[in-house]
Amino acid sequence: MLDLPVFDQLMVQIDVILLMLDRPAVQRQLLVFGLLVLAAELVAWQLIDLRRQVFAIQDQIDRNPKAYADYQPEGWRAQVSHNRTLRRWLRALEHTYSPIIAILLGHVSVLAFQQSEWQAGLLAQGLIFFWLLLVYRLSVTLLYAWQSETMAQFYNRRFLLPFFLLLLTFTIGRLVSGIVDLAAVPLFAITENQITLGALYVSIVVLYTFLLLSWIIEGVLNRFVLPRFEADQGLANTIKTVSSYVVISIGLLTTLGTLGLDLSTLAIVGAGLSVGIGFGMQDLVGNFVSGILLLFEQSIRPGDIIEIDGKTGVVDRMRIRSTTVRTFDNIELIVPNQKLLTSTVTTLTHTSRRVRLQITVGASYNDDPQEVRDALVAAINRHGLILKEPAPLVFFTGYGDSSLNFEVMVWVDDLSHRGSVRSDLHFMIWREFQKRGLEMPYPQRDLHLRSSVPWGELMGKESTNNGRAKEEGDGIEEEKEGGREEGIR
């Protein structure tokens, strides 16, 4: 049921905000603030379009320099090289045009309000939002200038953008704290504990801090600690995953404590709900437990090449709920951990990445089998990726219908080399056979005609049979005609 005191407090805060917005001075400043945003975006768009028009030809040449190679005047290349850095920075700073213009127009608007003796406090304080936006966009620009696009997106998504949003929310609360206490606005109640907007904000900051700490620990382990000890890839993945989830679990408990929740009460409630959750989320719980077992058992590790459901790929990432397998066609398969633990999975690189390669070769019956073997051994010895130990083997497997059959068995140090080595051996064996004059036969069949009956007699029998069949057919047609006439009568 709705807690009436909480609802009454919330309505009081809303009434205060509505009274503030009803004042003409506040409405005037909010209107000017909205016009500042619109004008800044329009002017920034015009400047960006002007920059693109000025450097349109240079941008086209940069995208396709070969197409304009014949139209470059003398000394043009040196001039473009000097302007390329300037154009790159202008393109990177395009996102800062809007907040800079808004700040300039905002100060002009504040001076105009002061000369008209209008209240401009809210408008002057609102300019801090444009300053925050300017700092954020400058940081993003520098990040993209120093890092690759992938890493810049990663750092922006995990660090810069969340920090900017938290700082923006904190700034809004500080600006309106003299009018309405947003931190004291009640939202809901849990176990007779009232959760306010300020407590919720603090809990989000605490949780994000622990998430940030888990990412930092994972990065430090991945770049500095684990490479120094040369840890196995599966063990390294287990250490990183367990460390990350331990920090996140501590963060969740700390966040609940920040909200003022009694953990012992939550434990009692959780025990009561565990049975229902277990029945309702059997697959999710099963995948979770399977993920923990796979991490510690290490039957499957990142980097292993496995075959599941007829598809072969490399284990890319292992998480608590699922495992990502990337096929050789660069297709990602999201496999539930429970399936990896309970079904049969073929792993090709669990204990060793070394694999054996088999090739079948046929030789002509006119060739010496020993010379064929020597040719195969010579081709094998010339390939650098074939291991000397275990030693390559050449077997004479049998006499086929059209060829002498040989089996070549070699070992390569990595499964990823199997396809290229197989192809190379086919080429090298073919060249070796050509050089030695050996023949690779194709299937042949001998057709024997019966010689006991003369050919003329066979032709005579065939003519007689054809004539007899024709006479029988004519008789049948005559009988059909006679029957038709009798039917008409």
Q: Amino acid letter at 22?
A: D
pLDDT of residue 194: 76
DSSP of 150-167: HHHHHHIIIIIHHHHHHH
pLDDT of residue 337: 86
The residues, any chain, with a CB within 8 Å of residue 38's CB and separated by 6 or more, are none
Closest C-alpha to 362, from 321, 310, 389, 398: 398
Q: How is the chain split into domains, by residue range?
A: 4-71+82-261, 281-347, 355-436
Question: What CATH code would you report for 281-347?
Answer: 2.30.30.60
10-residue averages of pLDDT along the chain (489 residues): 54 69 81 90 86 67 55 47 63 83 91 88 87 91 81 87 90 74 70 77 90 88 76 72 85 83 61 57 74 80 84 84 86 87 82 86 92 93 89 92 91 86 93 91 69 58 55 51 45
pLDDT of residue 1: 39
pLDDT of residue 287: 78
**Phi, psi values for residue 409, rounded to 5°:** -125, 120
pLDDT of residue 376: 93
pLDDT of residue 489: 39
CA distance 489 to 483: 10
pLDDT of residue 396: 94
Locus of tokens 């001076």: 111
pLDDT of residue 393: 92
CA distance 257 to 250: 11
**Phi, psi values for residue 406, rounded to 5°:** -125, 150
> Is this structure's pTM higher than 0.85?
no
Locus of tokens 């049969």: 344
Q: Which CATH number among 3.20.20.120, 3.40.640.10, 2.40.160.10, 3.30.70.100 corresponds to the domain 355-436?
A: 3.30.70.100
Cβ neighbour number for residue 425 with a 10 Å cutoff: 21
DSSP secondary structure code for residue 191 in this structure: T
DSSP secondary structure code for residue 68 in this structure: G
pLDDT of residue 60: 61
pLDDT of residue 248: 87
pLDDT of residue 210: 92
